[in-house]
Structure 1
Amino acid sequence: MTFNNIAVYADPAEPALPKIDVDLDLSRAALLITDPQIDFLSPNGAAWGPFGESIREHNTVQNIGRLMEAAKSAGIPVVISPHYYYPFDHRWDFAATGESLMHKLRMFDRKDPLSLEGFDGSGADWMPEYKSLIEDQRTIVCSPHKIAGPQTNDVVFQLRKKKVDQVILAGMAANFCVESHLRDLVEKGFEVAVVRDATAGSKLPEGDAYLAALINFRWFANAIWTTDDAVDRLASAAAVRR
């Protein structure tokens, strides 16, 4: 099955859901990026096969980088929620479909939680485009989530410690980690604006995961922005604050 009609992602001409938005306040906002890693975003990554077409359609790699640069220019925290698997994670007694696929593809594999041996340039490593942005001693890199949501890592703790309650959310993958982070954050009282073209989804016989995620973003997010919109809002808010 192929999906090559980008018009299917356009907003409806006459939406039934209420139109709401997030009034960005830099004093309580952060950018949260899920899984900005080689295995998702690079043609050399383990998951490029099902995700590559969507990543190219939405210019995802470049848009994530633009968001990080804009957030740093605006002076708000940049928070990374990564995905790592260690040898003992592959010995779980059961798994759901998505995690089973990740284990099968050996995505995000690391040799040990206390060692970076073999990490540089591996599928678990950051995309090269983001390394200088993430490794700047300012970016908050959280402990790894293990399936899709932040319930198993310290994302919410780190956001609370920075007195953040507005989150600009992007990263990979749209219907998996991004949507799971969105759902958990809104249930915990955060305002969340999802950046729709700074994510992507798989295209499989089971369906178009990006479209599935976009429909759910419309139900759950406080706002859905494009990268251009998010960058402009960050720059405008920063100019006012100065």
Structure 2
Amino acid sequence: MTIPSAYADPAEPALPKAPFALDAARAALVLTDPQIDFLSPQGAAWGAFGASATQHGTVPNLRRLMEAAKSAEIPVVISPHYYYPHDHAHGFAGPAERLMHHLGMFERRHPLSVEGFEGSGADWLPELRDLIEDGRTVVCSPHKVAGPQTNDTIFQLRKLGVDQVVLAGMAANFCVDSHLRDFVEHGFEVAVVRDATAGAQLPEGDGYAAALFNFRWFAHALWTTDEATAIMAGDAAARAA
């Protein structure tokens, strides 16, 4: 797809590009929140995110990334979002938490039960389910606001011997941005896939545009899905030669 000119990197960016050479032996593809509530017209947040997800081809691009990573034997790690009844009993919450609770996003009845889970907003997007449930994908415990500080994603990456992350998923200016920042602070090299995510379009502004600006400051590389899949395929071919 063509990236709108308003989002394209300038010909001579003020921020220098960082060198980033993908090494599949120490890399993982991390996807945040590949769930119905973000990515389906039936999802609770589609009204805010649907236009951006449709414009960027987020869902087919996520599938392409997962297929390319698995073909290249790059681990796929999912950092999901779930809320249980006890998460609604907190004495305070920020604006994004309040919105998610108000919309009923990512609701599950109990941490140890999947009753009512199948087909709910917390469930995997059907277009990605087979790749997530193939027995090879690492599914982490849920993050609770936006970043991996509250789950075991970094633990899983370290156990996999990973220090490079290809990052995509939902939402651009929220969970993707927060995971990016925390990964960088923990010493990972991170490449964000810019058209395998999407942002909210609200009266306050365009979340996707805001995220791209921040990605340029923190990410070691900013790729399209075409670039990311070609790089993963090239690395796999080089290792096979």
Structures share a fold, TM > 0.5? Answer: yes
Aligned residue runs from structure 1 range 14-33, under 5 A: 14-33=12-31
Q: What's the offset of the Cα at 1:131?
A: 0.8
Which string of whole-angstrom CA distances, capped at 9 and with x for unpartnered residues, describes residues 199-224 of structure 1? 00000001100011000000000000
Q: Aligned to 2:99, what secondary structure does the other structure show?
A: helix
Q: Aligned to 2:112, what secondary structure does the other structure show?
A: coil
Which residue pairs with 2:168 in the alignment? 170
Which residue pairs with 1:87 in the alignment? 85
Q: Aligned to 1:129, what secondary structure does the other structure show?
A: helix
Which residue pairs with 1:235 in the alignment? 233
Which residue pairs with 1:107 in the alignment? 105
Which residue pairs with 2:36 in the alignment? 38
1: CA distance, partners of 2:9 / 2:26: 29
Which residue pairs with 2:71 in the alignment? 73
Matching residue within 35, 59, 69 for 1:61: 59
Matching residue within 153, 156, 174 for 2:154: 156
Which residue pairs with 1:136 in the alignment? 134
1: CA distance, partners of 2:20 / 2:140: 25
1: CA distance, partners of 2:149 / 2:105: 20
Q: What's the offset of the Cα at 1:20?
A: 1.9
Q: What's the offset of the Cα at 1:10?
A: 1.6
2: CA distance, partners of 1:21 / 1:185: 17
User: Unaligned stretches of 5+ in structure 2?
Assistant: none
1: CA distance, partners of 2:186 / 2:18: 19
TM-score when normalising by structure 2:
0.97
Q: Aligned to 2:30, what secondary structure does the other structure show?
A: strand
User: Unaligned stretches of 5+ in structure 1?
Assistant: none
Aligned length: 238
User: Is the 2:17–2:220 Cα contact (8 Å) retained in structure 1?
Assistant: no
Q: Aligned to 1:147, what secondary structure does the other structure show?
A: coil
Using the aligned pairs only, state the percent identity.
71
> One-letter code of the match for 2:211?
A
Which residue pairs with 2:181 in the alignment? 183
Which residue pairs with 2:145 in the alignment? 147
Q: What's the offset of the Cα at 1:12?
A: 1.6
2: CA distance, partners of 1:198 / 1:126: 16
User: Is the 2:84–2:108 Cα contact (8 Å) retained in structure 1?
Assistant: yes
Q: Aligned to 1:229, what secondary structure does the other structure show?
A: helix
> One-letter code of the match for 2:216?
R
2: CA distance, partners of 1:234 / 1:14: 27
TM-score when normalising by structure 1:
0.97
2: CA distance, partners of 1:21 / 1:100: 39
Q: Aligned to 2:12, what secondary structure does the other structure show?
A: coil
Q: Aligned to 1:210, what secondary structure does the other structure show?
A: helix
Q: Aligned to 1:93, what secondary structure does the other structure show?
A: coil
Q: Aligned to 1:18, what secondary structure does the other structure show?
A: coil
> One-letter code of the match for 1:92?
H
